[in-house]
């Protein structure tokens, strides 16, 4: 994810997380959101994603997992 974000930052003028939804179940939190960006070309990029957080007994984040459909990145390859 970090490499993808670096590439997206190089290709865009601004980025934002939209449509954020958070659901908690026990010691887990599920975040759903859409990562959006305005590309240097003037085009727009949208990528739905989700993150799962595990919270330990001290209330600290013990694990983070993030998921996104990598096929959405194909549209960035066209801009590069």
- Whether the full predicted model's pTM is greater than 0.85, yes or no, is no
Q: Which two tokens stand for residue 62?
A: 């013990």
34-68 pLDDT tens trace:
999 999 988 899 999 999 999 999 999 999 999 98
State the residue for tokens 């993808």. Answer: 4
| Closest listed residue to residue 29, CA positions, set 2, 4, 59, 58 | 59
> Residue 28 above 80 pLDDT?
yes
**What does the longest C-alpha to C-alpha distance in the chain come to?**
47
């Amino acid at each position: 994810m970090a490499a993808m974000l670096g590439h997206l930052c190089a290709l865009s003028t601004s980025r934002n997380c939209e449509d954020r939804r958070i659901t908690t179940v026990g010691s887990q939190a599920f975040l759903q959101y859409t990562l959006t960006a305005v590309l240097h070309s003037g085009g727009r990029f949208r990528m739905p994603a989700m993150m799962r957080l595990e919270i330990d007994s001290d209330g600290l984040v013990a694990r983070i997992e993030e998921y996104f459909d990598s096929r959405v990145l194909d549209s960035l390859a066209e801009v590069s």
